[in-house]
Amino acid sequence: MEGLQRSRYGTMAEGGTEHTRSAASSPLRIVLAGKTGCGKSATGNSILGQPVFESRLGAQSVTRKCQGATGTWNGRSILVVDTPPIFEARAQDQEVYENIGDCYLLSAPGPHVLLLVTQLGRFTEQDVVAVTRVKEVFGARALRHMVILFTHKEDLADGSLHDYVANTDNLRLRGLVRECGQRYCAFNNRASGDERGEQLAGLMAVVEGLEREHQGAYLSNDLFFDAQRLQQGGGDPHGEGHVRYLAKVRSHVAKQKQDLQEAQRNRAFKALLRVKNWITSHIRIFAVLVICFLIFLAILISLCSTHEC
């Protein structure tokens, strides 16, 4: 592909002639996340207005390595990082950790936006797993920087995206939207011209709101600092420094996973404690309810016996 440059940490592509214009402020860093086949690469191409990421319909992931591509929006430089299957339930092998390491290196010092890509009307268990994996890769606070992007916007026809989200009976999607601070938008990745411009403007409006909320701060953690040090050192990607870095990637993900599991256990314990406290503080009401239930059960058994149930 013309303009594609190979980086030691993944693939870096130039997103077209717009990149040559100077940015008015710091670059906006966007990492694409989601399950395999959700349309991450096509979404990245829509954002940049250039086919820099390989994208085609299929059950298997086309993207095998992390890739970064740059463009501009209203004079501001944008970096989009496309990701291979690192947000899958079975994504645990060495190649996955190498790709996670590349994702950190390409988006260092940290992404402003984690763009969770999911298909309109098809938020499934795989999407739920992808969200969990995002937390394992980037930390539980990652959702504070997440925007949900629905593909297949054209399926809405004349309907409203807001109405779709507000009225969906998918409780897990509604919960995620709440966790993400009601930040969402939709793309038709086949759009061009004014339609593409309008939907990109919609995404950027959501992103600008997110940046205002965080006062321009981006997602960061200790592993991003390690990635920056490795970049600045300019060491051999197969050398000792890179090997140590990949070991840190593995331990970082393991710790995030452990922290999430502990947080889930704590939430379950607190929920049980709230139930216990309620029963203790409402013991008389609880006793009356139990007695009423037993009386009702006795009457029901008696009626059944009378009528030879």
Condensed to tens digits (0 to 9), the pLDDT of residues 202-217 reads 999 999 999 999 998 9
Question: Which residue in 184, 229, 192, 254 sits closest to 50, CA to CA?
Answer: 192
Whether the upstream peptide bond of residue 109 has omega within 30° of 0, thus cis, is yes
Sign of the torsion angle spanned by Cα atoms 11, 14, 20, 25: negative
Which residue(s) pair with 98 in the sheet? none
DSSP symbols for 86-145: -SSTT--SHHHHHHHHHHHHHHTT--SEEEEEEETT---HHHHHHHHHHHHHH-GGGGGG
Q: What is the pLDDT of residues 112-132, one digit of tens each?
A: 999 999 999 999 999 999 999
Phi, psi of 76, deg, nearest 5 = -100, 135
Residues of the chain with pLDDT under 70: 1-25, 55-63, 91-92, 234-238, 264, 266-282, 305-309
**What pTM, to 2 d.p., does this model score?**
0.78
Give the per-residue pLDDT at 26. 78
- Give, for 61, the enclosing helix (H) or strand (E): none
Partners of residue 148 on adjacent β-strands: 116, 184
